[in-house]
Amino acid sequence: MSWKNLSAFQLFAEYVEVGTNISFAEIVKHLSVRETIIQEYGQPGLAYQQKFCEIWEIKKEFPWFPKDKVFINKDFRKKITIAFKALEEKGLHKEIKTFDGCYVDRLSRGLKVTSLHSWAMAMDLNAATNPLGGPVKFSDAFLQTMKDCGLYCGAFWKRKDGMHFALFNG
Ligand SMILES: [Zn+2]
């Protein structure tokens, strides 16, 4: 049964963890985004990874990045590359202090839906200073640059996730 046939009450019961502050519009948005991703890439897993992911030796291109290699979706890598070059031009890359994960096989925090990290198409940066729920410590210029390069920042969500930068908005 498709989530589209469920009532608001059923959607919350099915997909939202108790105590999570999320609106009906947001849960619908999250489910729509996942439907799009599954249509385009398929479910996360080994077959998906073999087709769409790679190990990126990121320090070779960006020596300042705090990790040598990142397992990542190839399309996400392209966008991150453009964004990091744009950050470098403005000296904003210096704001990146820690890398806190790209590929992580798990559900979204607070939601019973697959996290974009399961597809390796989201990256967490500076997690210690930008926790889920806020505050956000990245500068406006940093976030705007990421956004202008086509990345989606959790900093702009109602339930802020300032560490989170992704290929899709959800
Ligand atoms: Zn994240």
pLDDT score at 20: 85
Q: Which residues surround ligand 1, an ion (CB under 5 A)?
A: 122, 124, 164
pLDDT score at 151: 98
Ligand 1 centre and the CA of 104: distance in Å?
A: 9
Ligand 1 centre and the CA of 164: distance in Å?
A: 4
Domains along the chain?
3-166 (3.30.1380)
Ligand 1 centre and the CA of 58: distance in Å?
A: 18
- Give this prediction's pTM: 0.94
Ligand 1 centre and the CA of 122: distance in Å?
A: 6
pLDDT tens per residue across all 170 residues of the chain: 789 999 999 999 999 998 888 889 989 999 999 999 999 999 999 999 999 999 999 999 999 999 999 999 999 999 999 999 999 999 999 999 999 999 999 998 889 999 999 999 999 999 999 999 889 999 999 999 999 999 999 999 888 999 999 999 98
Ligand 1 centre and the CA of 170: distance in Å?
A: 10
Ligand 1 centre and the CA of 89: distance in Å?
A: 25
Ligand 1 centre and the CA of 163: distance in Å?
A: 6
- Specify the 3-state DSSP secondary structure of 71: strand
pLDDT score at 44: 96
Is the distance from CB of 137 to CB of 162 less than 8 angstroms? yes
List beta partners, residue 70: 56
Ligand 1 centre and the CA of 154: distance in Å?
A: 8
Residue with the two structure tokens 């989170």:
164
